[in-house]
Structure 1
Amino acid sequence: MMQARLAKKLGPEYVSQRPGMGGGPKLSYLEGWKAINLANDVFGFNGWSSSIISLKTDYMDVTDQNRVTLGITAIIRVTLQDGCFHEDVGYGTAENLRGRSAALEKAQKEAVTDGLKRALKHFGNVMGNCLYDKDYAAAVKKMKVPPVSSICVALLIP
């Protein structure tokens, strides 16, 4: 049953788009909060965990005006309740930010989120692996996002 669920592909409501590098074609991706919600839904809120295996600052440039540009690599492990785990690398950057602490915080969070999403994808299509299939990624861009049900809206509005 779990294997069948992990093999399903993401619906268009989970997939976001962003411009490609250098103004190239749009790229499909899974936002970090959606990946966490999916993991909670598929594995249970207490059926999985993540841990930072390593966090390394790859470079840091600081200008005379205390503007910081840096890159950070994170290795993240996602472990299921039964002990099964996958690891992957994430990368985060900060460009031209004022102060080291702000730059480090931004890049670290970005690297950890990227690594988490990349580690989760190893568990199956529903965790984002389907987005690496170019045919599926092209097809999902054309799909209509289903409307939010009134029940969900009622839960969101106080």
Structure 2
Amino acid sequence: MTAGKKTELFDAGSSKPPQSAVPSPSLAPKMGFTPEQIEMLRKPIDPSRVQRRAGFRGQQFEYLPIHDIIETANRIFGFGGWQREIRRLEKVYQDETEGVYNVGYLCEYRVRVADIVHEDVGFGSSSNQPDLAQAHEMAVKGAVSDALKRCFRAFGDQFGLSLYKKHEFEEVSPSGPRTATDAQLGRLRKTLRTHSLKEEALLEYIKTKMGSEFAKLEELPLKVASRAIERFTQDEAAFVKEIQEISQGK
């Protein structure tokens, strides 16, 4: 596939998923889990499966890679025993500055196992990429992988449920070579205005969660701005409530 074709594949405004992410053929659902499957699902996660990466202030964050999630699903539910579907794939932002690109995507995903269906959303972004097609590809893959993981976590600790620390800004290091892009700032300000929130309220929330103080939105690192956009995109009402509570000193 040429670079030109790849750019067209991820054309702005198109919600059509890339060909590599086309949903698997639908299979007729079966009822319930077998006793063996239930026993496997109830087991605690094997620590050797957990990977770690460095985060803010030297903290270690634990996660399961996407290949482990798929291998575990095949092992417990069987090859062809589960189905997945991309419900929506949407570009959240795209920005170009000094010849590099920053892109963010939202993915709505559905997983079916037996007669059980779980849906969730994921967010993926790429930063400082010199090639536009590659920037879109990285962001799309990140969004799809994140959404798939979030769907499977509903099946318990074999899929890393205990590793999730939802809504944590601490996972994002405030350091970095780039600050928030104009596109990100515009999206954040528009969302804040929609909910009658001041910029200071979001900055206070980030300070409380991260322990790092920023005087204005323009000072936010790109990754921190991406995380804020992700929260607004995935669970807007809950995030707005959290910001309001911290702003009001609750």
Q: TM-score, normalized by length of structure 2? A: 0.49
Among 75, 97, 102, the alignment partner of 1:63 is: 97
Distance (whole Å) between structure 1 residues aligned to residue 109 and residue 48 of structure 2: 26
- Kindly report which structure 2 residues correspond to 1:45-124, keeping only aligned pairs within 5 A, or say none: 45-65=79-99, 67-80=100-113, 82-124=114-156
Deviation per CA, 1:19-66: give whole Å up to 9, x if none: 12x34411110000011000000110110021111111111101252x
Higher strand share: 1
C-alpha distance in 1 between matches for 2:158 and 2:72: 8
1:16 aligned residue (51, 57, 63): 51
Q: Does 1:39 align with 2:73?
A: yes
Q: 1:120 to 1:50 in 2, by over 3 A?
A: same
Structure 2 distance, partners of 1:55, 1:76, is 9
| Pair 45,104 (structure 1): closer, same or farther in 2 beyond 3 Å | same
Query: 1:4: Cα distance to partner?
Result: 2.8
Distance 1:23 1:42 in 2: 37
The sequence identity of aligned pairs, in percent, is 36
SS at match of 1:122: helix
Give the alignment partner of residue 3 of structure 1, picking from 14, 38, 44: 38
Q: 1:29, 1:91 → 2: CA distance?
A: 16
C-alpha separation in 2, matches of 1:23 and 1:109:
28
Task: Give the CA RMSD over aligned residues.
Answer: 1.5
Deviates further, 8-17 or 29-38:
8-17
Q: Which amino acid aligns with 2:79?
A: F
Whether 1:128 aligns to 2:163 is no
Higher relative contact order (CA 8 A, sep 6+): 1
SS at match of 1:87: strand
The separation in 2 between residues aligned to 1:51 and 1:23, in whole angstroms, is 37
Deviation >4 Å, runs of 4+: none
Unaligned runs of 5+ in 1: 134-158
Amino acid at match of 1:39: A
Aligned equivalents of 1:110, 1:85: Cα separation in 2 = 22
User: Does the C-alpha gap of structure 1 residues 62 and 69 become closer, same or farther in structure 2, counting only changes over 3 Å?
Assistant: same
Task: Specify which structure has the higher proportion of helix.
Answer: 2
1:34 partner SS: helix
Residue type of the partner of 2:80? N
Q: Distance in 2 between matches of 1:73 and 1:25?
A: 27
Larger Rg over CA atoms: 2
Matched, 1:25 2:59: yes
TM-score of the superposition, structure 1-length normalised?
0.77
| Matched length | 130
Distance, in Å, in 1 between the alignment partners of 2:40 and 2:154 is: 14
